[in-house]
Amino acid sequence: MDIKSSKYAVIAVITFVILFLMNYLGNTETDKLERALMTALAGVIGLTIGMWFINRNKHDDTHHDFD
C-alpha cells in the first residue's frame, strides 16, 4: 500500500481515532487529552514507518536466504 494513497489516509485516520478513543475513555488522569493525542499520533507514525518500509522493499527481486 502506497503511503500517498487515499486508502492509506483512511486507515491512518481510523487508527488514530481508535487509539485516541481507547486512551481518552479509559484514562482517569487529569492529562488524559494530552496522553491520548500523543499515543494516537505515535501509533500513526509507527504505521507510516512500517508501511514505508514494506512499500520500499515491495519491488525488490533479490530473495535473501537467511539459513
The pLDDT value given to residue 37:
96
Q: Tell me what the mean pLDDT of segment 8-37 comes to.
A: 94
The pLDDT value given to residue 65:
67
Residue type, position 60, single letter: D
First to last CA, the chain: 29
Unique residue bearing C-alpha cell 500513526: 44
Name the pTM for this structure: 0.78
Rounded CA separation 4/41 (Å):
18
Tell me the pLDDT tens digit for each residue of 30-48. Answer: 999 999 999 999 999 999 9
Q: Tell me what the mean pLDDT of segment 10-30 comes to.
A: 94
Radius of gyration from C-alpha coordinates of the chain: 16
